[in-house]
Amino acid sequence: MLEGFTEMDAVSEHKNRCTMSKEDRDKFARSERTAIQLSNLANVVLFAAKIYASIRSGSLAIIASTLDSLLDLLSGFILWFTAFKMQSPNPYLYPIGKKRMQPLGILVFASVMATLGLQIVLESARQLVSKEQGLSLEGDSWLWVAGIMVSVTLVKLILVIYCRTFTNEIVKAYAQDHFFDVITNSIGLFAAVLASTWKWWIDPAGAIVLALYTIRTWSNTVLENVNSLVGKTASPDYLQKLTYLCWNHHKAIRHIDTVRAYTFGSHYFVEVDIVLPSDMPLQQAHDIGEALQEKLESIPDIERAFVHLDYEYTHRPEHGNGQF
């Protein structure tokens, strides 16, 4: 709690991101674009390599990993298009911005990945029931397959570490996808090698494990982004920090009537009602409210802030949605 209050004190002293120069912001934005472009390029190259590994091995687990890479390309296009659209604001068509495009793009991304998992489960179950052996690792084939899969996994691991250095939600989605690829590639290779040297059924069983992991991972992602789209309230700790910031904003503030924060895409919308003296001049009251709005909007998690000024707090709260 004290750490949160210290953070709000830093906002009051203007020690926040608004002090970042335009050059620094542009440099950071270029770094984010570079991370997305590198991820897309890696997905194309690694997808071609995994197609070759799938043809050489015939492993269902490796084929599942290859199909995952195909969806990576589709998902990468979705996220790139989302980021591109967000960079061109239109205050007439989108007066409150396009921040909701971020979770919407990630939601589509996650839904496609979960659908892939279901398809793999069905195909693997069919192979197990029919006892169809599709694996064909003979001679030096397994060396080629192992080399390709290990190389792909190492490249993806490097991209995980790189993309996790950013705070942008789209770049973080790429990091999650790369980490998922590290897991699926490792399990796919492990299952293919064991199936070729021990029991054939390990290959479809490994594919089912990959599919269930896919469904679980991306289902959680879907739920998280649904919450960000429907306007879920912020945590009590976060509201407490905002209340602390508002209370210490100006000595003329008599009461804090309402503090709300709810998700708007990957950021928050904030509504604050403060009580000022009834005899305060309009100009002074306006300046206090506007300064508080600017201070709230300087917090990185907040997209927009609305500050309502009042002279008493015994009335019913505004925007009660008919609930009394």
pLDDT in tens, 188-202: 777 777 777 777 777
Which has the closest alpha carbon to 112: 215, 225, 220?
215
User: What pLDDT, on the 0 to 100 scale, is given for residue 13?
Assistant: 62
Q: Return the top range by mean pLDDT from 60-69, 82-91, 171-180, 296-305.
A: 296-305
Q: How high is the mean pLDDT of the chain? A: 77
Bridge partners of 273?
Answer: 258, 308
Question: Is there a contact between 191 and 205 (Cβ–Cβ < 8 Å)?
Answer: yes
User: What pLDDT, on the 0 to 100 scale, is given for residue 277?
Assistant: 93
Question: Is there a contact between 101 and 85 (Cβ–Cβ < 8 Å)?
Answer: yes
Q: Tokens for 19?
A: 């002090």
Please give the full DSSP string across 90-158, using - where no structure is assigned: -TTT-TT-STTHHHHHHHHHHHHHHHHHHHHHHHHHHHHHHT-------TTHHHHHHHHHHHHHHHHHH
Domains observed in the chain? 15-229 (1.20.1510.10), 236-310 (3.30.70.1350)
Containing 258, the helix (H) or strand (E) segment is strand 255-264
User: What pLDDT, on the 0 to 100 scale, is given for residue 15?
Assistant: 41
Q: What is the mean pLDDT of residues 65-73?
A: 71
Q: What is the pLDDT of residues 201-235, one digit of tens each?
A: 777 787 788 778 777 777 777 787 787 777 888 88
What is residue 273's three-state secondary structure? strand
Q: Which of 17-21, 74-78, 173-177 has the lowest mean pLDDT?
A: 17-21
Evaluate the CA torsion angle 112, 128, 208, 138 in order and state its sign: negative
pLDDT tier for residue 136 given thresholds of 50, 70 and 90: low
Q: What is the pLDDT of residues 89-117, one digit of tens each?
A: 677 777 766 667 777 777 777 777 777 77
The DSSP bridge pattern shows strands 267-275 and 255-264 to be antiparallel
How much is the pTM?
A: 0.57
d(CA 80, CA 86): 10
pLDDT tier for residue 137 given thresholds of 50, 70 and 90: low
Q: Tokens for 214?
A: 């896919």
Residue 282 reports pLDDT greater than 90: yes
Q: Which of 109-113, 253-257, 302-306 has the lowest mean pLDDT?
A: 109-113
Residue 186 reports pLDDT greater than 70: yes
**How far does CA 94 lie from the centroid of its chain?**
22
Which has the closest alpha carbon to 124: 7, 204, 25?
204
Of the chain, the percentage scoring pLDDT greater than 90 comes to 16
Which has the closest alpha carbon to 301: 271, 261, 245?
261
- More confident call, 271 vs 4: 271
- More confident call, 138 vs 146: 146
User: What pLDDT, on the 0 to 100 scale, is given for residue 121?
Assistant: 80
